[in-house]
Structure 1
Amino acid sequence: MSIRTWAISFILVGSLIGLAGCAEKTNGKDVELENKVIELEKKLEEQKAAEKAERKAAEEAEAKRIAEEEAKKPKVVNVIDPNTKNIVRSLVPVDLGFGTDNEKYKQELKQWAKELARGTETTPGYDSKMILDKIDANGQVIKGKPRVVLEEAELVTKVIEASAKGGDVILPIYITESGYNTEDAAHLSEVVVATYTTKFNPSVTGRNKNIELSAIAIDNVIVGTGDIFSFNHTVGPSDEAHGYQPAQEIVNKQLVMGIGGGICQTSSTLFNAVDKLAVEYVEWHHHSLTVGYVPVGRDATVSYGGKDFQFKNTAGVPLLVKAIYNPNGTLTVEIRTSAAYQALLQKR
């Protein structure tokens, strides 16, 4: 209550006391005293109401001023990592063309989203291929990694929607685990549902070592329902650091010596095995020359960092890849599954 109100209240109370004193002396004036009291109380309430209205008007004016100041400030969009809760980037949309050149703004967001998802030469992106689980020699599952995808188009849309008012945008990251049940792993080798064998010259040691190493890399890999198998991602670099040796390989329609020559026989043998099932090819390339270990058009060339052989398991059940290297000159790839799933398997 203000000093002014206190003063008025004091005067009114004093007046009421005075009137009350008079009323004790002059009994005949009760009605007049009551009217005076009512009038004074009314004035006090009016004064309080006036001060309340004055305070409200001042508060509204201040709120309006603050709102006007906020409206003048450029809006900020904070893009947040859902895992770390850290701000990945703070955007000031108007500085990037929002409201003046929306198409340019959208294209810039698209480029940024692409780099964020896929990475740059110096910075890794959020996207990562699935590393498939594998069964070791003791029958234990060696866990890989799930597939991670940052949806670029969704990110761009969300940022544009938030650009007018500002605010936070959570990165739309989607994680996909391998499509099989852990308890099924022990049974996936029960039934051979597809197989293919190729032959090689046992005396060509360098090339055969490369076939052996790449066969070991894909052996006992679990390809769950909906999983994508990447030969390059599964085998890894076929270089000297990983034990690969010089051997002939096909480059631009010519036979040349290169580290890792021969691994294409492994990828081609795998192709001919899985091709008997209802899988979907994500990436598949032929050699520039014919090869002697598979029929024409039945090869699958690969090169780490370049051409890959990838297929998606759309056969309806989880699969197990078995690669059997025989130093006497044969490579066999078997595709297996659990006996419980055999009736559900879809073939070509």
Structure 2
Amino acid sequence: MKKNLILLITFCSVILVGCFGYLEKEEERTKINEFEQTSEELKKKVVHYETDMGPKKSQNEAVVVQPVVIKLLDPNTSTVIKTIRPTELGYEKDFTVYVNEIEKIVKELARGSSTTTGYDQKMVLDKEADDGKIIKGSPMVILKESELVEKILAASSKNATIALPLYVTESNYSAANIESLDDVVIASYTTYFKSSNTGRNKNIELSANAIHNIIVGSGDYFSFNSNVGPRDEANGYQPAPEIINKKLVMGIGGGICQTSSTLFNAIDQLHIATLERHHHSLDIGYVPKGRDATVSYGTLDYRFQNISGVPFIIKSIYRNGSLTVELRTSEDYMGMLKKNQ
């Protein structure tokens, strides 16, 4: 009996050990399966990450950084007219040098160079033709240099497209009031010349006709050179004496300074802002000393802004031996007119 009991206990122990061994193996299999599942999930995440971020780079493979590019856009045509690469102009080496280079680029865009035309354009005023129709001029266009420089500097660390800051000013007068602009003479001046000098007289006549019936709106800018144009043989101008560097020499268009000086002395009677005026290097006899306005196409100009408060029309009256410039406006505007005291 005792022997049978011992055999029974031994058999049960074997069974229990086997059971515990089986349980341990089952637990181990479960852990292995869980590990394999976790490993597969991690592999999927890595593949997903690499797909989003692009192919993995080796440790020795350099990351290529593209240089910053700034494009300047013409807002009228929506075309890129200039591309700037800041690093090539010293942006990361010497900021002062970089700023100077940007200012040079902007200045040339605005004012042009010997080979290019700038965006800045002087106002060419409208003119009334003999038949009463209006010959349209062109507005003043200014590329604001300081604004463009600031925009470029602010964008120098990143790619950018910048539209040129162009400001356009149209002539300021009412077409409905053109007929009445001839009502009242508000200023007048006359100069005299010898009728025997045919070449010089012809030049005075041509330049006087060029400014005749020009309409100067309130706030408008006037440029003698822009409105009269080139003085050359193609436009009928003739050789005549002119003053250059304190010497009297022959030149095409000699005599037109009498037109510009006569105009100045009429304009100066109104409340006008003179923007540019030059004196001859020698005294002249047709206006008092210091009351001249010499001009030379492409260099010296006579320019003013109409701040008299009213629009007016320029009338030039050429006679044999005299030139008169009158400024006229509508009688309705007389109460608003500002004149020099």
TM-score with structure 2 setting the length: 0.81
Find the residue that maps to 1:110 and give its secondary structure.
Answer: helix
Q: Does 1:322 align with 2:304?
A: no
- CA shift, 1:95, in A, is 2.5
Percent of aligned positions that are identical? 53
TM-score with structure 1 setting the length: 0.80
* Alpha-carbon distance change, 63 to 189 in structure 1, aligned in 2, over 3 angstroms: farther
- CA shift, 1:268, in A, is 0.9
Letter in 1 for 2:299: G
C-alpha contact 1:141 1:185 (8 A) present in aligned 2: no
Find the residue that maps to 1:188 and give its secondary structure.
Answer: helix
Query: Match of 2:327?
Result: 335
Find the residue that maps to 1:126 and give its secondary structure.
Answer: coil
* Alpha-carbon distance change, 90 to 248 in structure 1, aligned in 2, over 3 angstroms: closer
Q: Does 1:127 align with 2:117?
A: no
Query: Match of 1:257?
Result: 250
Q: Distance in 1 between matches of 2:51 and 2:63?
A: 16
Equivalent of 2:68, from 71, 75, 97? 75
Query: Match of 1:299?
Result: 292
Q: Distance in 1 between matches of 2:214 and 2:242?
A: 26
Pick the structure with greater CA Rg: 2
Query: Match of 1:197?
Result: 190
Query: Match of 1:7?
Result: none
C-alpha contact 1:238 1:260 (8 A) present in aligned 2: yes
Q: 1:40-86, CA deviations, whole angstroms, 9 ceiling, x for partnerless residues?
A: xxxxxx99998996676456644999xxx998222221111111111
Q: Distance in 2 between matches of 1:339 and 1:48?
A: 95
* Alpha-carbon distance change, 342 to 73 in structure 1, aligned in 2, over 3 angstroms: same
Find the residue that maps to 1:206 and give its secondary structure.
Answer: helix
Letter in 1 for 2:132: G
Choose 91-100 or 312-321, whichever is displaced more.
Answer: 91-100
Query: Match of 1:118?
Result: 111
Q: 1:126-169, CA deviations, whole angstroms, 9 ceiling, x for partnerless residues?
A: 11111111000011111001111111221111111111121211
Q: Distance in 1 between matches of 2:325 and 2:112?
A: 35
**Moved >3 Å (runs of 4+):** 46-65
Choose 234-243 or 134-143, whichever is displaced more.
Answer: 234-243
Q: Distance in 2 between matches of 1:256 and 1:59?
A: 82
Q: Distance in 1 between matches of 2:85 and 2:245?
A: 49
**RMSD of aligned residue pairs (Cα, Å):** 2.5
Letter in 1 for 2:278: H
Find the residue that maps to 2:196 and give its secondary structure.
Answer: coil
Query: Match of 1:236?
Result: 229
Query: Match of 2:337?
Result: 345
Choose 309-318 or 94-103, whichever is displaced more.
Answer: 94-103
Letter in 1 for 2:101: E
Return 5+ residue gaps in structure 2 as ranges: 1-37
- CA shift, 1:297, in A, is 1.5
User: 1:201-280 residue pairs with structure 2 within 5 A?
Assistant: 201-280=194-273
Query: Match of 1:109?
Result: 102
Return 5+ residue gaps in structure 1 as ranges: 1-45
Q: Distance in 2 between matches of 1:251 and 1:258?
A: 9
Choose 55-64 or 279-288, whichever is displaced more.
Answer: 55-64
Find the residue that maps to 2:237 and give its secondary structure.
Answer: coil
Q: 1:271-293, CA deviations, whole angstroms, 9 ceiling, x for partnerless residues?
A: 11011001011111111222221
C-alpha contact 1:199 1:293 (8 A) present in aligned 2: yes
Q: Distance in 2 between matches of 1:110 and 1:64?
A: 43
Structure with the higher fraction of residues in helix conformation: 1
Equivalent of 1:183, from 176, 181, 185? 176
- CA shift, 1:106, in A, is 1.1
Q: Distance in 2 between matches of 1:169 and 1:256?
A: 50
Q: Distance in 2 between matches of 1:267 and 1:61?
A: 72
Letter in 2 for 1:347: K
C-alpha contact 2:218 2:306 (8 A) present in aligned 1: yes
Q: Does 1:99 align with 2:96?
A: no
C-alpha contact 2:50 2:56 (8 A) present in aligned 1: no
Q: Distance in 1 between matches of 2:217 and 2:55?
A: 59
